[in-house]
Chains A and B, each alone.
Chain A
């Protein structure tokens, strides 16, 4: 395409970092559980040990590698009623891990997402152009393609993309291993 690129400048919003630490612990697991579900709900830990085969299956369906053998999962009930599942997961942010929690309904819908802790060593750039869909109400039927969900970019926005991929991976785990066992 013949196009003059003269006279152009490019903007990359950057992150200002609150001093002194480039990291933050936001919520404990019980706090996130109470927020996403209900303080009165009962959370029963059901850590799921994933075999090599299971991990391959997850990778195949979600397009994202399952690093952990052991995925922390809680079954959530209130007054005998089954509310869904609570996951804790790590994804790589820009350089370090972001730990986050996701609530998933029995039908496999995202009920809520909270970042538990965020660690950053180098700071990062975030690009403004990428408006992202909220996770809320997402299911595996929703497109998790980058162009539609998050624009494909580098910088600290990477954290968002990896979070989105992480959520998709957790929904696949739900579909594969938690739908019959409820």
Chain B
């Protein structure tokens, strides 16, 4: 027995699917309604974890822990373990990728109108991973920058939802947050990745995560911008080669974040760099 549900969360539709627990177990077979009830409880719990992350790390909620940090540069803020963990991951990836992954570009996004300006205080348009300090139960930003965790927190929420399902004894399923996808256990999913030219390819996914981003050098009010950090970058800003980058990795937070890194690199370099950083470049479609 399998169950799928979808709710609007994290600014997208989040779909959670779970197959029946205790399948193949040698114990007493449960009747259908008991199984269904168990699945519902597990899926509800997973959705509620996703909602937690949204509440803690939303840029759009003034009372989120993320905005508490953003509003108090230089001041230590006590944070939940979820927030600390996402910050640690973001900082680690900033360091590992020489700032190609950069979660400190919120000021720039605000300046371009891609994000709302919640504070009305003077900001640096971007910083780097060294601007984030993390201790056991608190963190602070060293300069007036704006952290935005869009490039990683959605993936993290997907991973969390999966671990909630597992803890409830679910043997297989997937969580898909608008394209940040993780498939686990006995489940296999055929997914179609579309290219910018409309061509699609089908990939079979099991026990791993997948994320895709479209990378474009044209500015649009509708989409967030990420400035090129001062790292080793291959893609010239004037090359108008829109493409879709798809990354596979063991966990969704990593796949999510690595799409940003790959976007800055040529196909050859992206392949190498992404595998150094623990992911796999599945496709790097340029539109022609």
Contact A7 B58, beta carbon cutoff 8 Å: no
B169 is an interface residue with CB less than 8 A from chain A: no
How many residues of chain B are within 8 Å of chain A by beta carbon? Answer: 72
Report chain B residues within 8 Å CB of A113: 7-8
> Restricting to B30-46, which residues have a CB under 8 Å from any CB of A?
40, 44
Identity of the chain A residue whose Cβ is nearest the Cβ of B233 in the assembled complex: A7
B71 is an interface residue with CB less than 8 A from chain A: no
Report chain B residues within 8 Å CB of A156: 12-13, 178
Question: Chain B, 165-188, contact with A by CB distance < 8 Å: what is the 0/1 string?
Answer: 000000000001011110000000
Report chain A residues within 8 Å CB of B235: 9
Binds A, one of B76-84, B85-93, B131-139, B259-267: B259-267
Contact A13 B178, beta carbon cutoff 8 Å: yes
Contact A130 B11, beta carbon cutoff 8 Å: yes
Report chain A residues within 8 Å CB of B28: none
* A153-B225 Cα distance, complex, nearest whole Å: 13
Contact B150 A128, beta carbon cutoff 8 Å: yes
Contact B57 A11, beta carbon cutoff 8 Å: no
Contact B191 A17, beta carbon cutoff 8 Å: yes
Partner of A131, one of B60, B114, B227, B259: B60
Question: Chain A, 76-111, contact with B by CB distance < 8 Å: what is the 0/1 string?
Answer: 000000000000000000000000000000000000
Identity of the chain B residue whose Cβ is nearest the Cβ of A116 in the assembled complex: B6
Contact B226 A8, beta carbon cutoff 8 Å: yes
Residue of B148, B214, B263 with most partner-chain A CB within 10 A: B214
Binds B, one of A42-50, A52-60, A158-166, A173-181: A158-166
B250 is an interface residue with CB less than 8 A from chain A: no
Report chain B residues within 8 Å CB of A155: 222
> Restricting to B172-223, which residues have a CB under 8 Å from any CB of A?
176, 178-181, 189-194, 202, 210-220, 222-223
Report chain B residues within 8 Å CB of A134: 9, 51, 54-55
B96 is an interface residue with CB less than 8 A from chain A: no
Report chain A residues within 8 Å CB of B233: 7
- Pick 8 A–B contacts, CB within 8 A, sort by A: A9-B263, A13-B180, A13-B212, A16-B192, A115-B5, A130-B11, A151-B60, A152-B222
With contacts A11-B226, A126-B11, A152-B222 known, what are 16 further pairs, Cβ within 8 A?
A3-B111, A7-B233, A9-B263, A10-B220, A13-B211, A16-B181, A16-B192, A19-B192, A26-B4, A128-B154, A129-B223, A133-B61, A136-B51, A147-B60, A153-B223, A157-B178
**Chain B contacts to A: CB under 8 angstroms:** 4-13, 15, 40, 44, 51, 54-55, 57-61, 109, 111, 114-116, 148, 150-151, 153-154, 176, 178-181, 189-194, 202, 210-220, 222-228, 233, 235, 237-238, 244, 246, 256, 259-260, 263-264
